[in-house]
Structure 1
């Protein structure tokens, strides 16, 4: 037989199969690429936004004797090259940019301050590229001076301009450092960072900022600052009598990171640390980095994203294959007369199966190649599924067509009357189906009880088993309520309800395939919609928890009343609630707690309609769990205040989530020093920032955008949306194809009945009653399965990484999507039934009745 001629004759069915195979191959190859590309983007964003001190690799050593001191830049360069040579292979793509080296002392007190003020000495290999002097001059060669009858070195140093004021120092001033082995520093210049926002300064914050430390049990703070010395000072800098450390910074390039390589980095970092300890002469070298921790957090979020995506993409592939099988079934029905005649004339079974497979391959093979090629337009790496997915689609379609033909035409002539009586299932089949249902229920129970450990494939099997179990139960139970309805309608005088429901109850075995397609299609699409809606709801809650008000303005200094009045006068401002925050003394001890003084009634008013709330408070204080049970507090803030405990609050939205904290009424303070404004209204954040330059402005909408715009979160929600739409489309296609597959047999039956006086209106009602029960039952069961899956899988899937670190567990029952899908399927079924009867009405009854007869 000529396959090309058969393709031309049945071009409509071939085109449908080509279109479905093309869409399936494009989705199965393109979505994983897009998802993996989003994973890579998320990892790069995570590394780029993390402090460089965490992401970069820092090799450090503490010099314990003058013999181990480094005095020349070349000594640092030599070791830098050595560290790069022994980098493990997984780290080499990440560490390509040049780094920098430093030498710093720590805990170097100013003589005579009793250990309250420290000036450390620091050398940066690229200081001339990073800072510029705004006062005085750059430091030069060290000199010497006599102190307590001994000659000590004097280092010329530069200091950040802000530290001059904070530590009450002056240019030209000389300070002696140490308690026994003394050195002196002469401040000759003040500098500023050329780019204070550069990630580089994450490694050297001690140079830009004064560090304040409150020793345990003390009320006063220690102040620490690191000054800069030149290369000439490095030659004199010694570890004798002071704590001196050397550091080599190997910067990690976030743009070279990939999610696929991330699991290997942890082991590579450990190997690098061991290699450093073995290779370095003198010992004491070790690796400092937070890269494994950053990757662990990312991989935890990635694992959840991959799990969710594997579930929905697996469901999408299964549904796509089912719809393609329906299309193959449609094409097989179109070839039925030709293949039956060929078999009756002596054609071999191999020939018949080969023709069916060849015609199918003519449609799906070009579609697979086209879908595979189009997937390369999607940005992202080519995973194994990108290559295997289209091949699986093509092989399943061709294999199903050939196997069906071999089974159908195994005898030269075949007569099928599956619409007359249903075959009784074998004991082996019943046992297998019962086993599947039991295993699915046991798996769901165990998943609810014990959760899921990372990498456990059990999670992927439970949804599949549940879907299969529900499908089997639906297929087994579906005919019984219909038979009951048939008995009820048999007592009536109208023939159409009886005939329509009878044909539905005796549907041919091919109707099983639409059920197996619609169930996972609706189940997975509703599951994806519910998960996406749960993430969206929790994201909104997290944004309110982070900010605590529509707009929050916090200042590090007091906000004057005149400024507050100007804020109230801005266009769009509806209400302003003033508050004061700070650390308070608890009792007369060194214990400290965070506190906020605010008019709680006004704050509760601006939170009206928000997903968060606050308890009422008129007097006393609300305290954190760490402060519960203490009765009345004696608080030291601006003055001594006594407050009775009025309740316990786990967190204060926008302010405190853990530790010791309390909320008190604003009027307990004699003169509030307002440093926080809670604002309601539609006002420009930039205008507020310009009005209060010392303040940081946050908004709930901006916080929500930051959560939603996270690359990993965006990838999960985008994939869920695409899969939901694709599955809904496949479900509708399955309904249409199920109508078309049985169209010939249905037209023949309606034509017989029309010869007996069946009117066109009755024919329409008959067709609707035959089709609609299967659609409605399957739709309702599939929707119920989709609504159940989030609760069944809830303990095993942690979605907090995509919802502002809040657990996603409150899946509100939003019936819009389920009802829309059910209504769409029902509407398509009804319209298809009416279209079918309209087409059948135009056919010649004699021609229809002769279709398929071989006598």
Structure 2
């Protein structure tokens, strides 16, 4: 059989099948690559944005005797090389070159301060590249002095300006440290970090800033600062009489991170820690301190993998639905091609052609369309950045196998006997009891699965929960079966009603729709998963977008917020009020206040609540009204009148309980009080409504930090995982909508010949063109409308069914996504669009049929 000649004769259908296959293979091969690339980028950004002290691997050991002391740089370098050699293979791509080493003392009290002031000693291996000396000089080698009859070391140190200001220190001062093993600390210089924003300093923030700690049950803070000593001081620094630790920081580089390798990194970190624990310090193993690993990398990876699991679940659902619908539409195209070849293949079979020749001809013609299209789609997917996952080449292969397999099986079944007679007037066959039982079982299992999913949630085992992936498939299949079996019954009722009328067109159109064969109805049910998944994707995307808006308001609490560690002068507040774009300014003061007369404390904000509510008018979050009392957190509820110590002792009645204060507090003990409570307000926060530029406001109050809700929203939406989920949902929604429309068109084309013959017969009986259009619409539209409504309901119901199993809070500012009913415009538009296309297709089909001569149509019909 001449395949090129057949392809030329059915060029239009072959071209449609080629395009459908090309788009399907591009999507199923390109989307997983793009998704995985974004997953890798999300992991890299997560590691890059995390503080270095959390992401890096820090090997640390404590020295308790002179045998364990490290007194020169070479000893540190030797151990650094050893740690890098012990890294498990899974960690080596992550650990970058560089890093640094340090030696630090902790809890080194200043003599005579009663444990309220601590001046620690610290050495950094790369201090010369990290700091500038802004006053005095760099410290030199240690000296000695006599103190209480003993010779003690004198360490020359440098400190930051903040320590001089907050701890009453000065350059040139010599301070005694220790309570039993004394040492002298002489401040000879003041240093500043060359780049204080460098992630490096998260490991050594104790050197740049004074640390204030409030001991349990105490009212006064402890102050800690770590001073900088030179390398020469290592020879005099010993753990014999003080808390001394040595640290090696192995930096984790985000560039080598891969989401596929992330699950193995946790085990590798545990293995590295186990190997380090069996290493020993000192000259002998007896009594020596063990090395141990400090890192927050497992928690970072755990949080990332939790968010990734949700993203993968959503992606599997929508991509699986996309693949199923694409295969269904391709099968429709293949079926259309096979129907167009039926006459030719039947003639070849009647002339002695074997069944294998007939089936091979169908397979060859379909392969001629789908194989080049699959190769082209796979080649185009290579333009999408990302790793090649197993599904990338497997997707196009599945598409080709399904298309060619159906193209082989359909002619083999249809032409298994030469010139086999087929009745065209049989409307439908009664389903067997076995088939009905199987369909009822599928429906029952789907409903039971949905109930169990809501009742039990996700399984605790790692990885994807198969239950979560199977329930949507079962629900879709159940909805399709119910629709297929039940839709004729309301149509038959309409047929009885229209039979009583005088108009023939409604009766004929609805009768043909009600008596349609299951084979002609089944292709339309491709619309069900297409609509269900696309509506599900649209609803999920809308739910994420709405929750992101709420999260941005919860983070900032106002369109613009300015906070300062010190009081904002009244003149600066007035300058802010007069700034262009500022509509309203609400001053506030925040502090940590005393509850009662004990040690209980709570966070508090004093503000004009009425003005704040006015400022947030129209926002999805807000505060309850309060004018003369306090709004308290759940942990402070039930106390009636609450007494606080803030500038003065004040008693306030509780006027309500609030779960959180937008922009300020979400957990713990907190309260909101009127600004009039304070005897002399010291404003340190400004809540601003308007569109003023944050940079302009920051220049007006240099001590303030400016946050804007728009920036907070951008930070949430620009996250790679969030962007991937939303963009993939959008692409899948558009693709499924397109496939649904193509399915409608192919369904119309598949029944075109039979429909044209029926209309032609009726036109000989006086049917007008207008009545023919109405007849065609009434024949096609009911099943489209029923399927669209069922698909719409399925898509709207899936988020509620899967809600307990799909945690989307990672993509919505850590707020749970639960409101999926806010915007029904997109889902309704998808369903209505299908009905509209069906109507337009029916009209187009009728218009094309008018061009045919009635005699030719009837003659062809008679011959068949």
TM-score relative to the length of structure 2: 0.98
Match of 2:46 in 1: 46
Partner Cα separation in structure 2 for residue 321 and residue 499 of structure 1: 33
Range 154-163 or range 712-721, more displaced: 154-163
Specify which of 836, 844, 855 is matched with residue 845 of structure 2.
836
Write out the 4+ residue segments of structure 1 that deviate beyond 4 Å after TM superposition: 852-855
1:374 and 2:380 aligned:
yes
Kindly state the Cα deviation for residue 840 of structure 1 after the two structures are TM-superposed.
1.1
Partner Cα separation in structure 1 for residue 269 and residue 521 of structure 2: 54
Partner Cα separation in structure 1 for residue 523 and residue 581 of structure 2: 56
Secondary structure of the structure 1 residue equivalent to 2:90: helix
Kindly state the Cα deviation for residue 633 of structure 1 after the two structures are TM-superposed.
2.8
Specify which of 714, 729, 732 is matched with residue 723 of structure 2.
714
1:343 and 2:349 aligned:
yes
1:467 and 2:476 aligned:
yes
1:172 and 2:178 aligned:
no
Kindly state the Cα deviation for residue 756 of structure 1 after the two structures are TM-superposed.
2.0
Specify which of 424, 429, 433 is matched with residue 423 of structure 1.
429
Match of 1:479 in 2: 488
Kindly state the Cα deviation for residue 814 of structure 1 after the two structures are TM-superposed.
2.4
1:141-156 pair list within 5 angstroms: 141-156=141-156
Secondary structure of the structure 2 residue equivalent to 1:452: coil
Partner Cα separation in structure 2 for residue 162 and residue 668 of structure 1: 33
Post-superposition Cα deviations, 1:684-742, rounded to whole Å, max 9, x if no partner, equal 11111000111111111111111111111111000000000000000000000000011
Secondary structure of the structure 1 residue equivalent to 2:857: helix
Kindly state the Cα deviation for residue 806 of structure 1 after the two structures are TM-superposed.
0.7
Partner Cα separation in structure 2 for residue 80 and residue 815 of structure 1: 60
Partner Cα separation in structure 2 for residue 571 and residue 514 of structure 1: 61
Contact 1:337 1:852 in 2 (8 A): no
1:567-582 pair list within 5 angstroms: 567-582=576-591
Specify which of 639, 650, 656 is matched with residue 641 of structure 1.
650
Contact 2:480 2:525 in 1 (8 A): yes
Match of 2:393 in 1: 387
Kindly state the Cα deviation for residue 785 of structure 1 after the two structures are TM-superposed.
0.7
Kindly state the Cα deviation for residue 208 of structure 1 after the two structures are TM-superposed.
0.7
Partner Cα separation in structure 2 for residue 86 and residue 803 of structure 1: 40
TM-score relative to the length of structure 1: 0.99
Partner Cα separation in structure 1 for residue 198 and residue 425 of structure 2: 76
Kindly state the Cα deviation for residue 418 of structure 1 after the two structures are TM-superposed.
4.8
Post-superposition Cα deviations, 1:597-634, rounded to whole Å, max 9, x if no partner, equal 11111111111111112111121212112222333233
Secondary structure of the structure 2 residue equivalent to 1:486: helix
Range 834-843 or range 632-641, more displaced: 632-641
Specify which of 520, 530, 535 is matched with residue 526 of structure 1.
535
Match of 1:800 in 2: 809
* Cα 1:205/1:418, change in 2 over 3 Å: farther
Match of 1:766 in 2: 775
Secondary structure of the structure 2 residue equivalent to 1:851: helix
Kindly state the Cα deviation for residue 346 of structure 1 after the two structures are TM-superposed.
1.1
Partner Cα separation in structure 1 for residue 229 and residue 526 of structure 2: 73
Kindly state the Cα deviation for residue 284 of structure 1 after the two structures are TM-superposed.
1.3
Secondary structure of the structure 2 residue equivalent to 1:562: helix
1:458-607 pair list within 5 angstroms: 458-607=467-616
Contact 1:326 1:513 in 2 (8 A): no
1:140-289 pair list within 5 angstroms: 140-281=140-281, 282-289=288-295
Contact 1:418 1:509 in 2 (8 A): no
1:404 and 2:410 aligned:
yes
Contact 1:689 1:697 in 2 (8 A): yes
Partner Cα separation in structure 2 for residue 416 and residue 677 of structure 1: 82
Partner Cα separation in structure 2 for residue 40 and residue 82 of structure 1: 30
Contact 1:176 1:182 in 2 (8 A): yes
Partner Cα separation in structure 2 for residue 427 and residue 631 of structure 1: 69
Partner Cα separation in structure 1 for residue 210 and residue 749 of structure 2: 78
Specify which of 801, 808, 829 is matched with residue 820 of structure 1.
829
Partner Cα separation in structure 2 for residue 434 and residue 802 of structure 1: 38
Partner Cα separation in structure 1 for residue 181 and residue 317 of structure 2: 67
Kindly state the Cα deviation for residue 97 of structure 1 after the two structures are TM-superposed.
1.6
1:603-642 pair list within 5 angstroms: 603-642=612-651
Kindly state the Cα deviation for residue 489 of structure 1 after the two structures are TM-superposed.
1.8
Secondary structure of the structure 1 residue equivalent to 2:821: coil
Partner Cα separation in structure 2 for residue 210 and residue 810 of structure 1: 45
Secondary structure of the structure 1 residue equivalent to 2:184: strand
Kindly state the Cα deviation for residue 248 of structure 1 after the two structures are TM-superposed.
0.5
Partner Cα separation in structure 1 for residue 681 and residue 279 of structure 2: 61
Specify which of 665, 676, 691 is matched with residue 682 of structure 1.
691
Contact 1:418 1:508 in 2 (8 A): no
Specify which of 313, 319, 323 is matched with residue 317 of structure 1.
323
Secondary structure of the structure 1 residue equivalent to 2:236: coil
Kindly state the Cα deviation for residue 539 of structure 1 after the two structures are TM-superposed.
0.7
Kindly state the Cα deviation for residue 822 of structure 1 after the two structures are TM-superposed.
2.3
Partner Cα separation in structure 1 for residue 321 and residue 762 of structure 2: 41
1:702 and 2:711 aligned:
yes
Post-superposition Cα deviations, 1:632-664, rounded to whole Å, max 9, x if no partner, equal 233211122222222222211111111111111
Contact 1:419 1:507 in 2 (8 A): no
Match of 2:83 in 1: 83
Specify which of 396, 420, 429 is matched with residue 414 of structure 1.
420
Kindly state the Cα deviation for residue 175 of structure 1 after the two structures are TM-superposed.
1.0
1:433 and 2:442 aligned:
no
Kindly state the Cα deviation for residue 419 of structure 1 after the two structures are TM-superposed.
4.7
Q: How many aligned positions are there? A: 855
Match of 2:139 in 1: 139
In structure 2, stretches of 5+ residues that fail to align are 282-287
Partner Cα separation in structure 2 for residue 418 and residue 713 of structure 1: 53
Partner Cα separation in structure 2 for residue 687 and residue 108 of structure 1: 44
For the aligned residues, what is the CA RMSD? Answer: 1.2
